[in-house]
Structure 1
C-alpha cells in the first residue's frame, strides 16, 4: 500500500497512482469536502472504481475521526455561523478544517457513526467487480450488498417460482413463520450480521455464508444494512421511490454514488413510468374471478360476503370503463395516440383515484391484491392487480401540474399475438379496434433525482466512462453538479488506433443510414471489409451493429452463395475466425460469451457480432486478446418511429428550444458508440484498434462527440488499402512495444504468484482457506470442465492438446485406441490378464502429470472410459492422485480431486459441505458441531468407498488428517479410529514436515 496526499487528505492506495487517477480522487474529495454533487467521467481502464472507493472511504474515515463527542457542539455552532449552504456553494481552501465535515457534525443522526455510503451500479455483476476492487484496498468498513429474492432466495419452493411470484410467496411464508430459513436467521441474526459486515461480500458470498447455516440470505442482507457503513445495490433501488421507501433507510447526510451512470437518465424515467397492457387487464379480470369463486370472502373489503360482492363488481365496472376509454381513443393506422401527462387522470377517471380521506378504486385494488397474496388456499401471484395498483399509484402520487409538464400519455396498438381471450369474452367490441397498451411515460429524470436530494443526502456522485458532454448530462439530470471532470487515459501513444473507414475494398461507400442500410452492395462491401480486417487484426474482434435488425440482415446476405461459389462470405469469414452471434435472449448470452472466449483461447481468434446498447457493449471486460479490434457499423441513432423517442424529442423542444431535441437524439447515439468502443482498451498495458465503418464519422462534429481521450488517436484514409496497411503497422509495432512486454511480464508474475499462493494454501495453516477457495471457484478458464458439464470427448481435446503438446498428444490417441481394444477383449470374454488393464490405464493417467489441468482432464475423462473399465480407471487414477498428494506435489487441491474421484459427485458434494461448514464455524476442539463434522468425514468416506478399493477410506482419512489444524488433530484421530500408535506418529510427522513417505493403513 502507498499513502498519498489528496487535497490535504491521506489516502491509502494499492500502488503509486497515475496522474489521471490522482486527478480523479482529487475531484471526489473536493465534492465530499464541499458537500456537493459531482459528475465524473474517466475512461474504462483507468481504475475509476478503485480510485472512487479509496477516496470516499479515506474521506469518511477522516470525517468520522473528527466527530469526537467533545467538539460536536462547537462544530455545529461553527457551521451555523459560517452560513455555508448544504448544496455546496463557493468555498475557499481544501483542508479538513474548512470542509463541510464541520458543518454537518451537528446534523449527523446519532444512530449513525458517520455518513453512510450508498454505492450503486446498474447490475449485480458490476457490483461484484466493485467488491473485488474493495478487497484490494486497505479499508475494511462495515458493508453489505442488497439483492432481490430471485438472486438470494434459497427456499426450495420460492426460489423455483417465477420472479414475479417470489415476493408474494416469500411474504406469505414469512408472515406465517413457515420459512425455515427466515426462522433460522431470526434465531442467530446478530451472529450472522456481524459475520457478513466485517468483510467485503458479494451476492455469491451472501448466499454461501447464510446457506451453510440454513439461514435466509435475502433477509440477512436487509438486516445487515442497519449496521453497515457501505451498502451496495443496483441503482434502481435508489431512483425508484417505492423501492427506496421499502429499504427503510435514513438517507440524511448520506453519500449516494452512481457508478456506470451513463444510463441513469433512462432508469430514472422508467422508474416513474408504467405500461398497462391488455395482458395486464386480462389478468385483473381473472384475479377478480378467482376472488368471486371463493366460498369464504370474509377477509375482503368491509368484512361481509355482500360487501365483497360489491367490491369485486366495482373493480369489474372500473376495468370495463377503463377499457372503453382506451378503446375510444382514435388512432390512425401505423400511428399512436399521445397526450399531456394529466390526461391519465381523465382516462382513469379522477374520482376513482384515492384523494384525501376518500376511498377510491386504488384502495379496492390493493385490498383485492392483498387478499390473493395472503390467502393460502389460492397461493397465487396477482400480476394483473399488481400492475394496475402500480399504475394508479404512479398517477395519484404526482401533482396534475407535474403530470402535465413532465409526463406523456400514450396509447399504442399491440401486435395481434398478444390478443387475450378474456378481453374478447368480457368486452366483445374491443377486438374491433385492436388490443391496446395504455402508457404513462416520464420525460424528465430530474423528478427522480430531486426526490433523492429531498431526502437530505450530502452528495450525489455520478461516474462513468461515457458521460460527455458533461453540460448536456447535467441539464438532462436536472440537478446541479458543482464538481465536473472529463479525465484523461492511462494509455499512451501506440496503444490505440481509431480510424474511420469510409470505403470498402471495392471502393463502395460504407454508410448505414436509413436509406442505404438495406442495400445489398453496401452489406456485401461491409462483409468484405470485415473479412479483410480479420486477416490483419489478431485474436478477438468485436463488431457492433446499430440494431439486431441490421445485424440479422447482414448475416442473412453473407450466408448466401453466389452462383459458382463454393463458400459464402459468411463461411469464409467463419473459417478465418469463428463467428459468434450475440443472442437477443439474455439467458443465452453467457454461453455466447464463453464461446467467444474459448474460440480466442483454443482457436486463435473469434468474431463476436453484437449490437450497440446490447449486453456485449455494457460493462463487460474484453481485455487483451478478447478484443484486439472493435468495429462499429453505423451510428446507432434511436428509432425515430418509436413513440417514446418521438415524444422525448418533442418534450425537449417544447422545454428548451428546437435544437434541444436533436441534440439529445445525437448525444444518445454517440454515447452508445463511446460505450461500445470502450471495450477495446481495458488497462494500462492493453492495446487495440477501433474501426469506424461509416463515412459519416468523418464529419468534424461527429469526431468531437467521441470521448476526449480517444480524439488524439483518430485518423482517416480515403483508401481502404492504406487503412489496411496502417493496421498491419500498428499491430506489428504494438506486439513488440514496451507496454506489451510489460503485460506479458505482469501475467507471468501473476501466474507465479497464484501458484505460490495456492501452494501456501496447502500448508497446515492455510488448509481451511484453501478449501474455501476451491469451493467458491465455479467459473474458470475451463468452466464447463470444472462444473462437470463436458458432454463429448471432443470438447476436451483443445484442453488436452494444450496440456500435452504435439508429441504427447499423439501418444494420447494411441493410448485411447489401446484402451478401446482392451475393453473389446474384455467384452468378448477372452482371458485378459489384469496387468494389461493396469498398464494401459496407468499410462493413460500418468501421461497428464499432476498439474491442476491434468487432474481436471483425468476427472472428466472418466465418463468416456468404457463402462467395463470404469472401476479400474477410478481406482488407478485415485491412487495416482493420492500418491502425488503424499509426495507434496499437489497438496490439498489434489486431495480434493482424489476424494471426488473416490466418492462420486453426490457424496462428494456432501463431503464439501462438511468442509465449508468447518471453515465457517472455526476449529475449536470443544465445539460439539466440530466433533459432528469430523465424524461426518469418517462416515462419508467409509460408508461410500467399497472395501478393497485402492486407495481406501482410511488412506484418504489419513491424508486429510495431515492438513487439519493442531487444535483438532487429536479429536480427528479419535473420530477416525486410528488406534495404532504408528498411525498417529505418521500424522504428526506429516504435519510437522509437510511430507508423507507412505500411506498408513489401520
Structure 2
C-alpha cells in the first residue's frame, strides 16, 4: 500500500485499526529520518553515512542494530510489546527507544511475514530504493493512494540531475582510492567515466556561444550517441557490476581490525543513479531513448564567503579586525536527465504485479492515466461525494470588497491594488468564519509578496487581531513545520480573544496534500487564482512539446491539455482539505474573475462534486455591523457572527433577533419558514444619513442551513434600482418580493431543490468549447530562489506574442479610460448645475435605522 507521505500512512494505519483486520501482520517502511532511534545518528545531518560508520567501523558496534531480534517478528511485537493492533511508525519508534532496538531495520525484517506493507509510493516506483529496501513486487497486489501524483512520481523516479561540483567530488574520491591502491581494478573504470563526462560538459560550454544566458538540450537518441563516443555502450554496462563490487564490503574485511576507506554515500548514489538512467536509455534496444531529454543548464547562486587569509612576509597570518562575509556570485552547472514518459518507470511494475489499484479524489480525467502510465485499467469507478449538498457552500468571487477586479495572472498579482484587495477579502472571511480558515496561493513567491505587503500596510496586524495567522514555510527542518502546524491546531482549540486561526499555504506545498483538516480545523478554504505550472520552466516546456509530438501515436493528452490538468489537480486537492468525512461541513471560496467570465473554460476542470454546487458572485457590499472595526482588539468583536455555526447537521438554526443586519429577503423564507409575516422584522424608515464606521462582508442566497449569514450576492441580470431615502417604508411582505429572486434554487419545506438541472445554464459562444482551453498568459509558477533561471535557446513562440499583444491592448485601453475620466471630472467640476451633486456610480451611503424601531443598528445602502 503506497501513498505520498508518512502523514497519510499514519491516517491509513488509524483507519485499519478501526476494522476487523486490525490485528493482521503489517509493517511500515520509512527512511532513517523517521525511524532511527540512535542518539548519535538521529540529530546527524547525514544519517545514512553515520549509520554506516557505526555498523561497520573498526569499533563499530551499534547496539540498537544488534538488538533488532527483540522486535523483528510479528508475534513478539504483538504479544510482548503491546502492538497487537495496526500501528504507525511513531509507535514502532517508541517501542524501539524503550527496548533499545533499531526500528528502521526492524520494520524491514517485519516485511518478511507482513500481509500489508505500508510505504511512500516512491519506494515502489524508484528502482534504486526498491533495491536498497529489498522490495520484491512479484505477484503482489499494489494499491496506490493519492494516485493523482503517480505520473509525476514515476517521471521523477526515472530521472536524475547532478551538478558539476558533485561530479568533480566523485572523481576526486575515486582518484584517492586509486592512489592508495584500494580495489584499483574496480575504481579506475569509474574514474575514467567521470573524467570523460566532465570533459564533455566543459567542451559543450566552449562550443556554445552565449551559454551564460541559455541552456542546451539533447534528445535521448543524441545522448546515446554521445555516450558511445565516451565508451559507454550496452556491452560496457558491466560497470554496474563494478560499482556494486566497490559498494559491497567483503566479509573478510569486516572481520579484520583494519578499516579500509570507501567512497562516500553521495558519490555512490551519484554513480548508481547515472547507471540507472543509462540502463533505461539502453533497455530493449533503446526503446525508451525517445522518452528522455538531457539538459545542460547554467545558473548562478549567491553565497557568503569570508575573504581569504593572506600571510605576511614572515609567513604569519595576523587578523587585526574581524572580516565581514561578502556575498559571492557562484556559477552552477547542472546536467539533468529528464524522463518525460511515466510509463518508463511504471514498466518495471506492469506485468510483474498481480493487480494495480489507483485511488484518489482527483483522478479525473481517468483516461489520461492509461495512456501516460502505459497500463490498461479495465475497471474504473467514479463515485459521488458522501456529503449532502446542504453541507457545503461553493462560490466564486470576481471582485474584492473595494470593487476591484481580481484576475490572478502574473501581471496583475504584481500590483499593490490586487495585493490590497486580496488582503481585504481575506480579512473579511476571517471576520465571518469561525475557527479554522485555509488560504491557498499559487506559489511561494506570491505568498512572500503578499505577506510583505500586508505587514507594511497593517492588514497583517488586523488579521492577527481576529485569528492567529500562520504562513507555510518554504524551507526549513521538518520539525519547524510540525511545530507551526501544532500552533494552528492549538489556536483553533483556544478560547481566547481570537477566534481560531488562518493558515496561508501554497498549492502543491506541504499543507495542500496529505494533511487532514477535519471539522473546526477547516471551516473555509479560500483559493487565490489557479495554480498553473510555470510555463517558463524548461522541464514543463519540454513535457508539453513531448505530449504534442506523441499525442496521436500513443494516445497521450496534448501538451496544452496536460498543462491545464496539472493546475486543476493541484486546485482540487487544496479544495478537498475542507470536507473530510460525511458529517463535515464548510465553505469553498474560489477567488478569480475568470471563473465567472468563462465558466466553460475554467469550471470544467474542477471536481464533479464541486462543479455541481458553484455559484458565481462578482460584487460585494458593506453590511450592517458594529460601529467599531473588527480589525481592532475589542470585546465588541463578539457581535461579528460567523457564517458557519455549530448547529446540528440538516437542521434549521433557531430564530435570531434581527438587530445586527438587514439581509436578502429570501434569507428569512429559507431559514425561518414557520415565521409569520407579522412576526418578521418590519421595514423601518431611514433616519438622517450619519456616516458611521462599517466593516465589509459579502451576501448571497442561502445554500446551507449551517450558514447563518450570507456570504456573496448572486449577480442580478438588471442593474439595481435607485433608492429614495425619504420614501415611506414599504408594507409588502417578504413573500411578495420572492418573485424577483434570481438565484437558481427555490425554497421548499426549509430545504433546497434544484431548478432545471444541477448546474447553471451558460450560453456557449461559437468560439467556446466544453473542454479546458490553453491559456498561455496564466502562469503563476514559482521561480528558483537565489539563482537566475537560465533562459532557453529558442525563438519567440506564438504564446509569448499573443500575451504581449494582449498586454499592449490592455494598457492602451486603460490610458483611454483614464483620459476619459479626467475629462469627465473636469466638465463636472466646472458645471454650475452639478455643484453639490453626488457621483451616483460610486456612492455608498451610510445611514442609521430609526432608533425607535431598532436602536444602534447600522446599515449600508448601495445607490446606483
Which TM-score band applies after superposition, normalised by the shorter structure?
0.5 to 0.7
Aligned pair 1:664/2:562, yes or no? yes
* Residue aligning to 1:580: 470
* Residue aligning to 2:668: none
Aligned pair 1:207/2:93, yes or no? yes
1:622-676 Cα deviation digits (max 9, x unpaired): 1222211111011110001111111111110101059710101000001111000
Q: Is the 8 A contact 2:300 2:329 kept in 1?
A: no
* Residue aligning to 1:314: 192
Within 2, Cα distance between the matches of 1:347 and 1:220?
A: 45
Q: 1:166 to 1:298 in 2, by over 3 A?
A: closer
Give the deviation of 1:321 after TM superposition.
2.1
SS in 2 for 1:215: coil
* Residue aligning to 2:602: 702
Give the deviation of 1:433 after TM superposition.
11
Alignment of 1:371-390 (within 5 A): 376=259, 378=261, 381-390=264-273
Alignment of 1:540-619 (within 5 A): 540-561=436-457, 568-587=458-477, 588-602=480-494, 603-619=498-514
1:180-209 Cα deviation digits (max 9, x unpaired): 233233588556467589642221222233
More helix by share: 1
Within 1, Cα distance between the matches of 2:78 and 2:647?
A: 51
Aligned pair 1:272/2:272, yes or no? no
Aligned pair 1:137/2:137, yes or no? no
Within 1, Cα distance between the matches of 2:175 and 2:582?
A: 62
SS in 1 for 2:234: coil
* Residue aligning to 2:223: 344
* Residue aligning to 1:65: none
1:336-384 Cα deviation digits (max 9, x unpaired): 2212123333444455336336755x56655555689988454773413
Within 2, Cα distance between the matches of 1:605 and 1:634?
A: 24
Q: Is the 8 A contact 1:542 1:608 kept in 2?
A: yes
260, 276, 279: which one aligns with 1:396: 279
Aligned pair 1:478/2:374, yes or no? yes
Q: Is the 8 A contact 1:353 1:396 kept in 2?
A: no
Q: 1:418 to 1:474 in 2, by over 3 A?
A: farther
Alignment of 1:316-465 (within 5 A): 317-328=195-206, 330=208, 332=211, 334-349=213-228, 351-353=230-232, 355-356=234-235, 360=239, 376=259, 378=261, 381-399=264-282, 401-417=286-302, 434-455=331-352, 457-465=353-361
Q: Is the 8 A contact 1:192 1:220 kept in 2?
A: no
Q: 1:483 to 1:175 in 2, by over 3 A?
A: farther
Alignment of 1:54-93 (within 5 A): none
Q: Is the 8 A contact 1:578 1:599 kept in 2?
A: yes
Aligned pair 1:507/2:403, yes or no? yes
Give the deviation of 1:291 after TM superposition.
2.7
Within 2, Cα distance between the matches of 1:543 and 1:316?
A: 47
* CA RMSD, Structure 1 to Structure 2 (Å): 3.5
SS in 2 for 1:291: helix
Give the deviation of 1:156 after TM superposition.
3.8
Give the deviation of 1:151 after TM superposition.
2.2
Q: Give TM-score, length-normalised by structure 2.
A: 0.63
Q: Which fold has the larger relative contact order, with Cα–Cα distance below 8 Å and residues 6 or more apart in sequence?
A: 2
Q: Is the 8 A contact 1:300 1:367 kept in 2?
A: no
* Residue aligning to 1:467: 363
Q: Is the 8 A contact 1:369 1:382 kept in 2?
A: no
Q: Give TM-score, length-normalised by structure 1.
A: 0.55
Within 1, Cα distance between the matches of 2:137 and 2:528?
A: 44
Q: 1:189 to 1:129 in 2, by over 3 A?
A: closer
Give the deviation of 1:733 after TM superposition.
7.4
570, 574, 598: which one aligns with 1:676: 574
1:528-578 Cα deviation digits (max 9, x unpaired): 1112222212222111110011111112222224xxxxxx22222222223
Q: Is the 8 A contact 1:279 1:420 kept in 2?
A: no
* Residue aligning to 1:645: 540
SS in 2 for 1:466: coil
Within 2, Cα distance between the matches of 1:401 and 1:723?
A: 67
Within 2, Cα distance between the matches of 1:733 and 1:484?
A: 36
Aligned pair 1:738/2:653, yes or no? no
493, 504, 524: which one aligns with 1:629: 524
Give the deviation of 1:688 after TM superposition.
1.1
SS in 1 for 2:380: strand
Q: 1:683 to 1:712 in 2, by over 3 A?
A: same
1:246-284 Cα deviation digits (max 9, x unpaired): 444543332100011121111111000000112312321
Deviates more, 1:656-665 or 1:193-202: 193-202
Give the deviation of 1:245 after TM superposition.
3.4
Give the deviation of 1:678 after TM superposition.
0.5
Deviates more, 1:376-385 or 1:337-346: 376-385
Give the deviation of 1:233 after TM superposition.
1.2
Give the deviation of 1:298 after TM superposition.
4.1
Q: 1:741 to 1:227 in 2, by over 3 A?
A: farther
SS in 1 for 2:431: helix
Q: Is the 8 A contact 1:539 1:600 kept in 2?
A: yes
Q: How many residues align?
A: 597
Q: Is the 8 A contact 2:4 2:514 kept in 1?
A: no
1:897-930 Cα deviation digits (max 9, x unpaired): xxxxxxxxxxxxxxxxxxxxxxxxxxxxxxxxxx
Give the deviation of 1:446 after TM superposition.
1.3
Give the deviation of 1:707 after TM superposition.
1.0
Q: Is the 8 A contact 2:197 2:230 kept in 1?
A: no
Q: 1:554 to 1:184 in 2, by over 3 A?
A: closer
Give the deviation of 1:689 after TM superposition.
1.0
Extract unaligned runs of 5+ from structure 1: 1-118, 303-307, 422-430, 562-567, 743-1002
Q: 1:279 to 1:316 in 2, by over 3 A?
A: closer
